[in-house]
Structure 1
Amino acid sequence: MYYNGIYHLFYQYNPYGAVWGNIVWGHSVSRDMINWKELKPAIKPTKPFDKFGCWSGSATVLPGNKPVILYTGVVDEKQAEVQNYAIPANITDPYLQEWIKPNNNPLIAAEPSVNKTAFRDPTTAWMGPDGHWRILIGSRRKKRGIAYLYRSKDFIQWVKAKHPLHSKENTGNWECPDFFPVSIQGKKGLDNSMIKKENSIKFVLKNSLDATRYDYYTIGKYIQKIDRYVPDNTSVDGWKGLRYDYGNFYASKSFFDPSKNRRILWGWSNESDTKMDDVDKGWAGIQTIPRTIWLDPSGKQLLLWPIEELETLRGNKVHMSNQKLNKGNLLEIKGITAAQADVEVVFSFPSLDKAERFDPSWDHIEAQELCSRKGSTVQGGLGPFGLLTLASKNLQEYTPVFFRVFSSKNKHKILLCSDASSSSLKKGSYKPSFAGFLNVDMSKKKLSLRSLIDHSVVESFGAGGKMCVTSRVYPTLAVFSNAHMYAFNNGTETITIETLDAWSMNTPKKMN
């Protein structure tokens, strides 16, 4: 949340080790979401209503500028879950370091009809036109995912609505639900209180699906009078739906930033190496770079882009333009710290004629499976082309981020891949191929890519934020000054690097 000029990031944290367990609410503060100060945990299990863990939730700033946290507490060894609240002990403390859990907790316990072991992660609250507060709680009934709606006049007494805000069969447990409006025009973010003009906005419902460990969202209409959400008919509801990120990204949470009128998304990227590696490191799990969210002009998907404050870390810059890449060409991007970099590149091509045919049987496999089959070294027509990040000198290790263009029924399908399969010589790591299909107008015969590289993570943004793919990688050779970066083309069609701008990225500093 943003409160009195300070950003507060709360996160699931084990203060006693780098493995799962002993979950508390970690707490860090920042003035720019780049340079942070770690504080002591905000909430720990100390009461009967959270004895077995303080789990995910949300923050809401109430009228009178009063912040309140809602969170899930586990009350017994059978994993029964309830919803609790906490308030600052000292509202004048700019960092809000002490939090109190009042004795009238829990605020919400599951009714007999609700699965009390799948009843978690309350959203930020919003007030409807009737003056009542509303929150969502993620759950499931058998295999049906559910976002239960609760209402309250005073933020203390909560009543479950007769119907969920939304549910969907065969999606499994819904975790970390998020629900917010987006403007039909422009990039400005909206708070849930800004929903009076229904014809100028759409709504987003996001759920983290426990069964797949990915975050999915739909875009649709919120019918306030009956508190129901209806996805647009162009928005697939379920496992085949849109995702914020097609890589290692889960349990995300957005918030409205009133200081710049934008909506910011945080996502968790867990480790892909072994638990013993995490113990050796002394930590596990990172937050991805915060991203701004807004609605694509088509109205059919969201666009995501790293917050502008990230650019304050940019150091030494390298620029290229009009560089041709024929089949098999490899062009090193020199003059930057390749292990910690930000690179933006625009690729163009003279024709789409060499795009390889899209086999209809591929419609039945995941994009990441196609990426695995059609890797960066498998010659194509139009692609694969892109970047080799975190590459060792002789390419024993590298993480390619690349495009591959297919022709299919009078249209083109564009695959964006981030392939960790060759990322490390280290044994025991999970090294998946992550990918998704981009919805891009190809009439200009151009594709853009931005990649943020930071030692063990590569976050990539295709076509101005139409698709994001995050990979966790653990090179053993391509580390620090021994890391390299290349542009490459393994397709028969010549590719032109119209422009490429790359920066060494400085390390954030502890907030004063």
Structure 2
Amino acid sequence: MFYKGLYHLFYQYNPKGAVWGNIVWAHSVSKDLINWAPLPPAIYPSKPFDINGCWSGSATVLLNGVPAILYTGIDGRNRQVQNIAFPKDPADPYLREWVKPSYNPVIDPDAAVNASAFRDPTTAWLGPDRRWRVAVGSKVGLRGLAVLYTSRNFKKWVKAAAPLHAAEGTGMWECPDFYPVAGRGRNGLDTSAISEKYVFKVSLDLTRFEYYTLGRYSFREDRFVPDKGMKDNRTGLRYDYGNFYASKTFFDPEKRRVLWGWANESDSVGDDVTKGWAGVQTVPRAVWLDKSGRQLVQWPVRELKKLRGKSVVARELVLNKGQRYEVKGIATSQADVEATFEVKDLDRAEAFDPSWKDAQELCQKRGADVAGGVGPFGLWVLASADLSERTAVFFRVFKGSEKKHTVLMCHDDSSSTSRPGVWKPSFAGFVDVDIEKDKKISLRTLIDASVVESFGAKGKTCITSRIYPVHAVGAAAHLYAFNNGGAVVKISGLRAWELGTANMNLAL
């Protein structure tokens, strides 16, 4: 949240080790979303209602301007209950200390709620009736649901007659997020704003991926109804088709809806323990509704450009099948790369099988080294000099019926490392773009040592991977553009910047 000139990030943290457990709410502050300073933990187990853990939740700025945190506490009976905390001194812009009222928990699971699956309250929103609403993730069997509660005073909460939203076969709903979006433009909306379109996001414990739906919300009925065809399951839309989970958005004074995601480790537990830390936040992203109204678009916050340094530019590069171009002149283990690829000969695209519903499975079968008609083409990042180690960020174009084309975007990590204990999945998503219209597609990729975040078609499809190269480290990391498809690919423009290192966890 933003409060008195500072961004506040609260996150789940184990102060005793790089494995899950002993969870507290760590607390960092920033003036620009990029450089961060740590503060003492804001919330930690100290009362009977949270003695066994202080799990995730959300912050809400109340009408008097004072923030309140709703969070899941694990009580002495190991029940998941919802608690509230307030700043001890609201005049302190750093919000260093938080107090927990004695009337906690403010939301107790009743007999109809599974007390072992009842967590992660959303940011609250205020309705026209001046009642606050908050949703809590839960499940009944394999039916995932967001249990809705209302309150007039943010102290006494009443369970609604029906969930805000539910879906069969989805299992436990973690870290739900619910907010309105503007029908046009890139500005975000305050969580309590009334809109024609809303976003409901859920992190599915069954898949460890996130899914969102767009739809309509009725304050009168307190029900969210997804648009036709939208699903909260493996066939649904995702913010990010890679290693991205437990995300949360907030509205800031720049009138942006800002998205934070968590990129878990793909490294071995043993290496996490050796490092002394595990898990990072992705770069914060602005998120808005695409002009089609069918999906969201994301883009790194503009403040990230403050880290850009030396850059190199290349234009009108022509890559035939099997050719590559090395981007030289900058260090590429921390870099920001923007490129536009043009493909004229779409008739060479491979046929698309309508049974290919899972993009990730398709990417595993048709990786970066499998030659195609149009593609694979894109970038090799964190590559060793001899290319024995590399991660591919690429597109592949398929041709369907009536000359309609399907564009696949992939992160292929299969050649990144041979170190044991590392999870090396291929991640992928389809891109909702009419490549037949302008025969080009853009790519922006952020490279940060062990993290690669990519934004295809100006943020329509996003993928995050955790990469642990053995040889392509620091000055030994290389960056290439490549084409392994039969059709000629022209890079009409490519620019890459070195990225400086942000101030992370440096004391005030």
CA distance in 2, matches of 1:70, 1:402: 41
| TM-fit CA distance, 1:511 | 7.5
Counterpart pick for 1:304 among 291, 298, 302? 298
> 1:35–1:511: 8 Å Cα contact kept in structure 2?
no
Q: Distance in 1 between matches of 2:343 and 2:178?
A: 40
Note the C-alpha offset of 1:409: 1.5
Q: Secondary structure at the match of 2:463?
A: strand
Instruction: For 1:166 and 1:18, locate their aligned partners in 2 and report how far apart those are by CA, in whole Å.
Output: 35
Aligned to 2:182: 183
The within-5 A match list for 1:186-335 is 186-195=185-194, 198=195, 201-257=196-252, 259-335=253-329
Q: Does 1:378 align with 2:377?
A: no
For the pair 1:394 / 2:386, whether they are aligned, the reply is yes
Q: Is the 8 A contact 1:231 1:237 kept in 2?
A: no
Calculate the TM-score normalised by the size of structure 2: 0.98
1:414 is matched with which residue? Answer: 407
Offset from partner CA, 1:164-198 (integer Å, 9 cap, x none): 11100001000100000000110110012221xx4
Q: How does 1:2-17 map to 2 (within 5 A)?
A: 2-17=2-17
Report which stretch shifted further, 87-96 or 485-494. Answer: 87-96
Question: CA offsets, 1:233-252, max 9 Å, x none?
Answer: 14234221000000000000
Amino acid at match of 2:143: R
Q: Deviations over 1:354-381 (max 9, x none)?
A: 1101123323xx2111111101111000
SS at match of 2:174: strand
Write the distance in 2 (CA, Å) between the matches of 1:265 and 1:96.
Answer: 22
Q: What do the CA deviations read for 1:221-265 (whole angstroms, capped 9, x no partner)?
A: 0011111111011423422100000000000000011x2001000
**Which residue type is aligned with residue 501 of structure 1?**
R
- The one-letter code of the counterpart of 1:325 is L
Letter in 1 for 2:373: G
Q: For residues 13 and 326 of structure 2, what CA distance do their matches in structure 1 show?
A: 39
Deviation at 1:351, TM superposition (A): 2.1
Distance 2:388 2:232 in 1: 41
The reply to whether residue 135 of structure 1 matches residue 122 of structure 2 is no
**Preserved contact between residue 202 and residue 232 of structure 2 (Cα < 8 Å):** no
**SS across alignment from 1:242:** coil
Under a length normalisation based on structure 1, what TM-score does the superposition of the two structures give?
A: 0.97
Deviations 1:303-353 (A, max 9, x none): 011000001100001111100000000100011111000000000011210
Q: Which blocks of at least 5 consecutive residues in structure 2 are unaligned? A: none
Which residue is equivalent to 1:84?
A: 83
Structure 1: gaps spanning 5 or more residues: none
Distance 1:359 1:397 in 2: 31
Q: CA deviation at 1:216?
A: 0.4
Contact 1:176 1:252 in 2 (8 A): yes
For 2:315 and 2:74, locate their aligned partners in 1 and report how far apart those are by CA, in whole Å.
Answer: 56
Distance in 2 (CA, whole Å) between partners of 1:452 and 1:19 is 27
Equivalent residues in 2 for 1:41-60, closer than 5 Å: 41-60=41-60
CA RMSD of aligned residues (A): 1.0
Amino acid at match of 1:84: N
Closer, same or farther in 2 for the Cα pair 1:511/1:356, shift >3 Å? farther
Amino acid at match of 2:294: K
Give the structure 2 partner of residue 30 of structure 1: 30
**Residue 507 in 1 paired to residue 506 in 2?**
no
Q: Contact between 2:345 and 2:488, CA under 8 Å: does it hold in 1?
A: no
SS of alignment partner, residue 355 of structure 2: helix
Equivalent of residue 446 in structure 1, options 440, 444, 453: 440
* Whole-Å separation in 2 of the counterparts to 1:186 and 1:359: 35
Task: Give the secondary structure class of the aligned counterpart of 1:238.
Answer: coil
